[in-house]
Amino acid sequence: MALTPLEVEAIQLSLRVAGWAVLISLPLGIAVAWLLARYRFPGRELLNGLVHLPLVLPPVVVGFVLLLLLGRQGPLGAWLDDWFGITLAFTWQGAAVASAVVSFPLMVRAIRLSIEAMDRRLETAARTLGAPPIWVFVTINLPLIAPGVLTGIILAFARCLGEFGATITFVSNIPGETRTLPLALYTYTQVPGGLDGAFRLMVIAIVIAFAALIGSEFLARIVKRRLEG
């Protein structure tokens, strides 16, 4: 069963959107997780709530908020358009932003747990050996929280692949631009005689999910081995 050009397009789009979503949210996710795990500051609870909001809001609501903020007429969207010529509404980049926002809490949570579990005394030890904090972060903290970061990436990536509500609300369902795999499957179910196509996409989705699970298990094992020697 060879893939049709439409299917290839949907798969590529889904992977691209999810990949970019994880890529842009990763540095921010580590920074926010670090902030929440290590510092007490005014507004910390507010930040914590804000980060977790997409987890409890219906994705459609998230998509609508994004549309209001980042749409061409929205305050942020207009600004981005004027200054950088970046348009997010109804583009695949917008789909990536929607996925990133929705998966952000999962990523932050996993990373934060691993930061909180880290033995801070190792940082002290590294400092007494002459290492400045940034070097300690790169050579001690990052490797030791790697399993948590990996978990965060996998959870977020999986969430992005399945993203539907926020995406369709924010960037609509445009073939070749924002019609990711779940949207394509949904589209098939809405047209007469589309069940075959939907079925094929379902199989593809399951295969991708399985591959991701096995791949992540493999990676986790490598990381674990590197940490424990």
Partner 1 sequence: MLAVQARLTRSEFTLDASFGAEADGVVALFGASGAGKTTLADAIAGLVRPEAGRIALGDRVLFDAEAGINLKPERRRIGYVFQDGRLFPHLSVRRNLLYGLRFAPRDRRYATLERIVTLLGLEALLQRRPGTLSGGERQRVALGRALMAQPELLLMDEPLAALDVPRKAQVIDYIERLRDEIGVPIVFVSHAVDEVARLAGTIVVMAGGRVAAAGPAAEIMARLDLDPLAGIEAAGAVLDATVQSHDAAYGLTELAVPGGILRVPRLRLVPGRRLRVRVRARDVSLATAEPRETSVLNVFRGRVVEIGPRRGASVDVAVDIGARLTARITARSADALGLAPGTEVYALVKSVAVDPASLVQAEQDNP
Minimum CB–partner distance for residue 139 and partner 1 (Å): 8
Of residues 94-123, those binding partner 1 (CB under 8 A)? 121-122
Which of 196, 228 has the CB closer to partner 1?
A: 228
- Does residue 134 belong to the site contacting partner 1 (CB under 8 A)? no
- Does residue 58 belong to the site contacting partner 1 (CB under 8 A)? no
Minimum CB–partner distance for residue 216 and partner 1 (Å): 20
Q: How far apart are CA 123 and CA 115, in angstroms?
A: 12
- Does residue 227 belong to the site contacting partner 1 (CB under 8 A)? yes
Q: What is the 3-state secondary structure (H, E, C) of the chain?
A: CCCCHHHHHHHHHHHHHHHHHHHHHHHHHHHHHHHHHHCCCCCHHHHHHHHHHHHHCCHHHHHHHHHHHHCCCCHHHHHHHHHHCCCCCCCHHHHHHHHHHHHHHHHHHHHHHHHHHCCCHHHHHHHHCCCCHHHHHHHHHHHHHHHHHHHHHHHHHHHHHCCCHHHHHHHCCCCCCCCCHHHHHHHHHHCCCCHHHHHHHHHHHHHHHHHHHHHHHHHHHHHHHHHHC
- Does residue 124 belong to the site contacting partner 1 (CB under 8 A)? yes
Minimum CB–partner distance for residue 151 and partner 1 (Å): 17
Minimum CB–partner distance for residue 59 and partner 1 (Å): 38
Minimum CB–partner distance for residue 96 and partner 1 (Å): 32
Minimum CB–partner distance for residue 171 and partner 1 (Å): 41
- Does residue 193 belong to the site contacting partner 1 (CB under 8 A)? no
Which of 110, 145 has the CB closer to partner 1?
A: 145
In sequence order, what are the residues at sequence separation of 6 or more whose Cβ sits closer than 8 angstroms to the Cβ of residue 188? Answer: 194, 195, 197, 198, 201
- Does residue 213 belong to the site contacting partner 1 (CB under 8 A)? no
- Does residue 27 belong to the site contacting partner 1 (CB under 8 A)? no
Q: Note the maximum CA span of the chain.
A: 70
- Does residue 42 belong to the site contacting partner 1 (CB under 8 A)? no
Taking CB under 8 A as the criterion, the residue among 1, 129, 190, 192 binding partner 1 is: 129
Residue linked to tokens 């010529």: 85
Taking CB under 8 A as the criterion, the residue among 128, 190, 193, 196 binding partner 1 is: 128
Minimum CB–partner distance for residue 154 and partner 1 (Å): 20
Question: CB under 8 A: which stretch of 21-29, 68-76, 129-137, 154-162 binds partner 1?
Answer: 129-137
- Does residue 2 belong to the site contacting partner 1 (CB under 8 A)? no
Q: How far apart are CA 37 and CA 122, in angstroms?
A: 16
